């Protein structure tokens, strides 16, 4: 038997449906690091994709550009009673628009290379270099 959703659950479900439908088909999530604690997880991943779909959650009002994008995403998750209680995602919001050459956005010179630098660092560590 299905329990009816509350209005807030219906809103959350609608938001997730829009978010998931906007994810490009070639998205890659490259793990950089994970830290586990008793009831928390902090994960850093490099996100790479082609901007082939409208992504209003990231680039409000921007049409697809067909350009490649890469940025570092930090995810913080908290668990209670074995279930996900909350999740926060953080990324450099200026890097995305500048990589896709969208007008009237900051250049974000420092952020553009950060994901590539972290990938190289992790690759060297996995090769035994430190």
User: pLDDT (tens digit, 9 = 90+) per residue, 7-19?
Assistant: 888 888 888 888 8
What confidence tens digit (pLDDT) does each residue in 46-96 have?
889 998 998 887 777 888 889 888 888 899 999 999 888 998 988 876 666
Query: What is the residue whose two structure tokens read 């906007």?
Result: 22
Greater model confidence, 29 or 127: 29
CATH topology for 7-126 is: Nuclear Transport Factor 2; Chain: A, (3.10.450)
DSSP 38: S
pTM for the model = 0.64
By the 8 A CB rule, do 48 and 31 touch?
A: no
């Amino acid at each position: 038997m299905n329990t009816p959703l509350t209005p807030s659950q219906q809103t959350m479900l609608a938001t997730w449906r829009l978010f998931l439908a906007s994810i490009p088909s070639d998205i890659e999530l490259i793990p950089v690091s994970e830290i586990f604690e008793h009831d928390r997880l902090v994960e850093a991943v490099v996100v790479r994709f082609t901007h082939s779909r409208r992504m209003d959650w990231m680039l409000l009002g921007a049409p697809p550009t067909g350009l490649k994008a890469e940025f570092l995403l930090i995810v913080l998750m908290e668990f209670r009673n074995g279930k996900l209680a909350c999740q926060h995602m953080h990324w450099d919001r200026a890097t995305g628009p500048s990589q896709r050459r969208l007008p009237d956005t900051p250049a974000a010179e420092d952020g553009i290379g950060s994901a590539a630098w972290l990938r190289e660092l992790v690759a060297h560590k996995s090769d035994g270099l430190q």
